[in-house]
Amino acid sequence: MSGIVSKNAGRGSGIVGAGAIGADAVDGSNIADDAIDSEHYADVSIDAAHIASNAVTSAKINADAVTGAKIADNAIDSEHYTDGSIDSEHLATNVILNDVLLKDYGETTNAIGGTGGGTQDIDLTAGNSVSATVDTSTNTFTFSNPTASDEGCGFTLVLTNGGSQTVNWPASVDWAGGTAPTLTEAGVDILTFWSIDGGTIWHGMAASTDTKSPS
């Protein structure tokens, strides 16, 4: 009589005890649609073995349901990212990368254009490649927002017509021999600046003066 509910089992209660149900007696055909919800599952009772292949799609996952605590350490590698899905908003700032190989890389150029005389700031958050044209009147350059004092920080300035007006550099710039280079009145000079102490001292160098094509 195993697996058979006797007429006295659960009499008066309307409840069939687990002992009255045969092993594997309840299959999908015995369960009404939508009858089982989260309250019927024991905590941690559903593991990978109970989920059909490809059964969990994005439509089955509530918004924000997958948190860091739900993802195993080292579970996500390059195969899990869609091509082009990682942009600057997804990258943390000031991340140290080790053993990096770069190829065909570019730097953002901060194209200042005409300085217009007066004070012209070179803000390194706008790019470490800088271009400017000296015009109008005396021009005083300032440098802002270098990286932290324990890091090397540099930028290149492509300066047009630097010798056409008086150009003043920050007092923090040290030049070879203690003298700033003579700039070209009508032409292009390429200057580089490097600091290892957060801009306390900038080492200035003339990489090329009066740059032009060969005659």
Question: If we measure between CA atoms, which residue out of 151, 145, 97 comes closest to residue 125?
Answer: 145
Provide the H-helix boundaries in the chain: none
Of 191, 89, 173, 68, give the one whose Cα is nearest residue 130: 191
98 SS3 class:
coil
Per-residue pLDDT of the chain (215 residues; tens, 9 = 90+): 444 444 444 455 567 777 788 887 877 787 887 777 777 777 777 777 778 888 778 787 888 888 878 888 887 877 777 887 777 777 777 778 899 999 999 999 999 999 999 999 999 999 999 999 999 999 999 999 999 888 999 999 999 999 999 999 999 999 999 999 999 999 999 999 999 999 999 999 999 999 999 98
What is the pTM assigned to this prediction? 0.63
User: What gap in Å lies between CA 119 and CA 142, rounded to an integer?
Assistant: 7
Tell me the three state secondary structure of residue 18: helix
3-class secondary-structure state, position 19 = helix
pLDDT digit string, tens, across residues 87-136: 777 777 777 889 999 999 999 999 999 999 999 999 999 999 999 999 99
